[in-house]
């Protein structure tokens, strides 16, 4: 018996040690005394290829002379990027990501934007509402709501956080609309209820910010009587759908920088209703514990 007990105890110790070893990461923590590049394989963790922040980061790598210094931008998705970020932060490992606000990554993680002395990403961004030509004549009430839709980064973040917390986007949008009657009154000022359930289509890119804004606007348009369909697609088809009148509106044009290419390709075929959100920002970001990395120049 005692012998068996001893074996059992030894096994327990072995299992515990093994489990601990498996838990603790093999990758080292951020070392402020060493150059950053080799610590992260000269890699910036990015998102999907179609995103404007990826185009801007390619430009930044060139502008700061990092391409020759073997820096590279890794493609993934917002979900993969934020998951990699979360793991790195849990272990205090170094990481550089493509970042933007409004987004819950800045609420959930201790992140900071890197200064951008060459101004590749621009200072701040605005998000514009884009509608199809002829919408004003065909659906004046919807046009007016889309034209009057305007909110703050904090408000958009609150919906994004709810969705990130597991809420269905349509439910999160409904909850927001219910909680902000004065705001909705402004968006629907002078608008009358429409009859006959006219159809309306909005297209969007399945980024957290666009999921939030599109669902909120769709909820308000439904309340005034429209039969609204929302369709997720890639960035280029979102613009093309509004240009060809296959869709009526989209609320996800990040300008003047992030969506610049698509905006210049399509601006003559769509109607720009102007800013729906002010004070968005795009750039490179790192965890705050990387104290001596404060500018893109510091990646050198």
| Nearer of residues 194 and 233 to ligand PBE, judged by Cβ | 233
What's the burial of 148, exposed, middle or buried (CB within 10 Å: 0-12/13-18/19+)? Answer: middle
Q: How many CB atoms lie within 10 A of CB 20?
A: 9
| Nearer of residues 52 and 94 to ligand PBE, judged by Cβ | 52
| Minimum gap (Å) between residue 209 Cβ and ligand PBE | 5
| Minimum gap (Å) between residue 78 Cβ and ligand PBE | 7
Binding site for ligand PBE (CB under 6 A): 47, 51-53, 100, 207, 209, 254, 258-259, 282
| Minimum gap (Å) between residue 62 Cβ and ligand PBE | 18
| Minimum gap (Å) between residue 207 Cβ and ligand PBE | 4
Q: Residue 245 — left, alpha, or beta (φ > 0 → left; ψ -120 to 50 → alpha)?
A: left
| Nearer of residues 57 and 144 to ligand PBE, judged by Cβ | 57
Distances (CA, A) of 231 to 22, 252, 277, 279: 43, 13, 21, 26
Q: How far apart are CA 169 and CA 175, in angstroms?
A: 10
CB-closest chain residue to ligand PBE: 52
- Which parts of the chain fold into alpha helices (H)? 2-23, 36-39, 52-63, 78-90, 105-108, 135-138, 140-148, 153-164, 169-179, 181-187, 208-223, 235-243, 260-266
Question: What is the residue whose two structure tokens read 């309340």?
Answer: 223
| Minimum gap (Å) between residue 210 Cβ and ligand PBE | 6
Question: What is the residue whose two structure tokens read 């979102």?
Answer: 238
| Nearer of residues 88 and 282 to ligand PBE, judged by Cβ | 282
| Nearer of residues 209 and 250 to ligand PBE, judged by Cβ | 209
| Minimum gap (Å) between residue 126 Cβ and ligand PBE | 12
| Nearer of residues 139 and 282 to ligand PBE, judged by Cβ | 282
Q: Answer yes or no: are the C-beta atoms of 253 and 226 closer than 8 Å.
A: no
Question: What is the residue whose two structure tokens read 């956080």?
Answer: 161
């Amino acid at each position: 018996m005692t012998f068996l007990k001893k074996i059992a105890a030894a096994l327990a110790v072995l299992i515990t040690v093994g489990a601990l070893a498996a838990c603790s990461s093999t990758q080292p923590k951020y070392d402020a005394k060493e150059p950053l590049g080799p610590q992260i394989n000269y890699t910036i963790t990015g998102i999907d290829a179609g995103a404007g922040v990826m185009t801007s980061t390619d430009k930044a790598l060139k502008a700061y002379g990092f391409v020759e210094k073997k820096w590279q931008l890794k493609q993934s998705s917002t979900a993969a990027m934020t998951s990699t970020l979360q793991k790195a932060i849990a272990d205090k490992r170094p990481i550089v990501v493509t970042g933007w606000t409004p987004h819950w990554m800045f609420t959930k993680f201790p992140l900071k934007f890197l200064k951008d002395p060459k101004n590749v990403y621009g200072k701040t961004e605005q998000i514009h509402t884009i509608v199809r030509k002829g919408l004003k004549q065909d659906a004046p009430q919807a046009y007016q709501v889309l034209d009057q839709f305007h909110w703050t980064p904090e408000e958009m973040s609150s919906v994004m956080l709810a969705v990130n917390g597991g809420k269905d986007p349509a439910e999160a949008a409904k909850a927001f609309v219910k909680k902000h009657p004065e705001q909705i009154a402004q968006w629907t000022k002078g608008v009358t209820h429409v009859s006959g359930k006219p159809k309306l289509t909005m297209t969007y890119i399945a980024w957290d910010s666009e999921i939030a804004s599109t669902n909120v606007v769709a909820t308000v348009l439904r309340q005034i009587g429209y039969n609204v369909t929302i369709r997720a697609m890639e960035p280029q088809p979102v613009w093309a759908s509004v240009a060809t009148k296959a869709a009526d509106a989209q609320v996800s044009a990040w300008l003047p920088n992030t969506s610049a290419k698509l905006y210049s390709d399509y601006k003559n075929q769509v109607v720009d209703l102007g800013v729906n959100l002010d004070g968005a920002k795009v750039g490179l970001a790192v965890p705050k514990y990387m104290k001596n990395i404060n500018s893109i120049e510091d990646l050198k």
